[in-house]
Structure formats: C-alpha cells, structure tokens
Amino acid sequence: MRVHEELRAQGARLSYPALTGFCRRHGIGQEPKVAAGRYTFAAGEEMQHDTSPHTLGLGGKMRRVQTASLVLCHSRMLFFQFYPHFRRFDCKVFLTEAVRYVGGACRVCMIDNTHVVVLHGTGREMVPVPEMATFAERYGFEFRAHEKGNANRSARVERPFDFIEGNFLAGRCFADWEDANAQARDWCDKVNASTRRHLKASPRELFAGERPHLRPLPVWVPPVYRLHQRIVDVEGYVCVDTNRYSVAEAWIGRRVEVRETASAIEVYDGPRQIAAHARIAEPVGHRSTLAEHRRPRGTGTRRREPGLEEESLRTKVPELAEYVQEIKKRSQGRGTLALRRLLRMVNDYPRPALVSTVKMAKQYGLYDLERLERMVLRSIADEYFELDASARRERDDDAER
C-alpha cells in the first residue's frame, strides 16, 4: 500500500490490484512455489509416532491432555490414547499398547525431535536415550527423527490429529481416563475398518497385506514399570507423584520397593509383594487405602505399659504415685531418667524422711529432683550425721533463707 501511495504521488496512474498483479507476475515479494513431494512406504517399512495437546471433557471438567498417536505409514492403521502428561514412562506404555494393538512393529519409528526419546542431535544426527534404544530393540525397530523444520516428513501422523479433534472429541465427554482410552480404542477399530476414497480400501484391508511384513512381538511382552525406593511413613503410606498408597503397619519405617505400572502401584519387600493398589493417573495428592490396612473402629493406639522404674516406685512407696505422675508429665519421653533417680533416692534414704519431704515439695509445686535430694539430706542431717557447731549454724542459716 505504501508503494502504491508513492507511485500515485509521483504521477503514476494505476490501481492497487494492478500493482499487486504486476508484483505476482514478476515474482516481486513472492516466494517461488515448489512442487510438493510424495512419500511412499513399503509394507512394514515405517510407522510414525507423535503427540499433540487437546482439550478433553473429563469427569465434568475440561482438561488439557496429551494425545499420543501411532500410524502405520503403508496401511494408515491408526491408534491413539490420552495421557495427563507424556514422559518417558508414558511413551513406553503407549508404544507397548500400540504394537500390541497392531500385532507387531515396523522396522523404523519416525518421531519429531522430542526430548522424551532424543539424547542429543537432530534429524539424521539424532542419538536416542539408551533406555529408549533398548526398549525399541526389544520390539525390533529403531527410532529416527526427521530433519528440523521438515514437518511434512511426519505428515502420516500429523494429519490425523485434526481428524481426532474434529470427529472423536467433538461433543464427547468421559467419566475418567479409563473410559476415555477405552472409547478411543473402540473408535480406532471403527475408523480403521472404514473405506478411504483416496486409498480405494480401508486401512484394515491394507493391513492384511502389511501384517506379514511386521516385526513379530516377543513371546512374552513384559509390562512397563518404574521402580521407586521409598520408606513407609509413620501413617503407613508410601508416596508416588504426590499420591499416597497404604501399607500394613508392620512395615512402618522400613524401606520398600514400589513398582509403578500403567494401571497399578505394587509394593514389594524384597521378592514378596505386600500391597497392590489401582494407580491414580494424575498427581493430585489423593490417598488410596486398602480395607485390610484400615484399623478396626474402636481400636486406638495402645497405651504404653508402665516402665520397670515406675512399677518399682508404685510397689515400694504407694504414697508417691501422684508425685511420680507429675514427674512424668514434666520430663521428656517417658521420664525414665527422672524416675530412675527418684527410685535411687527411695533405696538410699530413710522412707519416712523421703515421704515427708516429697509431700512438702508437692505442696509447693517443687519437682526438681536435685533440690528435692538436698531437702532430704537436710532433714536427716541431725539423725544420721554428726555436725560441728559451724556446720549446724550454716545449716540453720540455709533453712532460714
């Protein structure tokens, strides 16, 4: 528009559409058009995997979730699932379900340059994380990443995301994650059996010819899990992703191994399983308590039995029972050291003098055993010790003070 204004100011007589048409014909300000390419894939050659964020109606609320999808490039077989977040553990869970759904794996799994799989490098220089490379080797495929900015290379998996959002998610709400993923699997069965006009067949029909070329699954498909080392807390729970799962009280304070799978939390003490819970998919701080781990109603914490020192004091000097209770209240823990010192005083000093002194101390709220012992010694000084005049005078002065 500025060029058109300047040309008109200099006396040129042309319309704005004439100016834009001239620029198009001569390639001014226009990027040259490049013919689109076409990728062809042999049966069992490649599958593509990617994720995309979507808004999902879950449990009466709209949630932002990650949609993970896998497409076989030759037959267009589609499989997708929903996750609250997509980490390396979730990636292995999804790919395991995907290859089990199609009954095998292609030789190559094409991905974008996601940090979930990529250790370093991009495109052809991409090096996968050893953990993910070992996982891929188990099913006979390898990860490859397309070049940066070449989104068309993964168009087989990118295009179905719009199809999922506009057809499957439109007008649908789900009770929970299990319901959402179960409906997604059923919808994949329906879509894969539908005829595509540009293919002149359905993905399921094309898959019949591709399946013999897939890498077969191992005889035993091991479950995907993460290991956590936890110490059972004082309430009898172990924590995984802010959620807490109950364990029997016998394991409180002990170190256990927690195995987190896609659907369960299993707690082990060595090779022995001691608890199993349904896994809470999101880190929401919920508690999962098994019925056998609940304490029966009416059975509170047992009161501690009196210690040996307390029992001896009650037996030898029943008159000191109330004083003993007050000593325990004012001492740390169970008051064992204080009661042990009081018991020594009972064994060492005359009983009448000790009892009378304790009654006097209790009357004035005195529970310092150091001062109590000095009072006992002062009360028995004349009877059991010979004091000279100066010592007796000093004792009397202390008493007056």
Reported as a single tens digit per residue, the pLDDT across 117-144 is: 999 999 899 999 999 999 999 999 999 9
Q: What is the pLDDT of residue 308?
A: 82
What distance in Å separates the CA atoms of residue 13 and residue 233, rounded to the nearest whole number? 86
The residue with greater pLDDT, 358 or 210, is 210
Q: Which amino acid is at 21?
A: G
What is the token pair recorded at 398? 């202390």
| Average pLDDT of the chain, as a whole number | 89
Task: Find out whether 304 and 334 touch, Cβ atoms under 8 Å.
Answer: yes
DSSP-assigned beta bridge partners for residue 259: 227, 266
Query: For 166, which DSSP code?
Result: I
**Tens-place pLDDT, residues 260-270:** 999 999 999 99
pTM of the entire predicted model: 0.69
Q: Given a cut of 60, is residue 164 above it in pLDDT?
A: yes
Superfamily designation of domain 46-213: Ribonuclease H-like superfamily/Ribonuclease H (3.30.420.10)
Average pLDDT over residues 302-326: 81
Q: What is the pLDDT of residue 206?
A: 95
Residue 398's pLDDT band (boundaries 50, 70, 90)? low
Q: What is the pLDDT of residue 288?
A: 95
Task: Count other Cβ atoms within 10 Å, centred on residue 41.
Answer: 18
Q: Which long-range contacts (CB under 8 A, 24 or more apart) does 26-35 make?
A: none
Q: What is the pLDDT of residue 389?
A: 57
Supply φ then ψ for residue 260, to 5 degrees. -100, 115
Domain ranges of the chain: 46-213, 225-293, 311-400
Percent of the chain with pLDDT over 70: 93
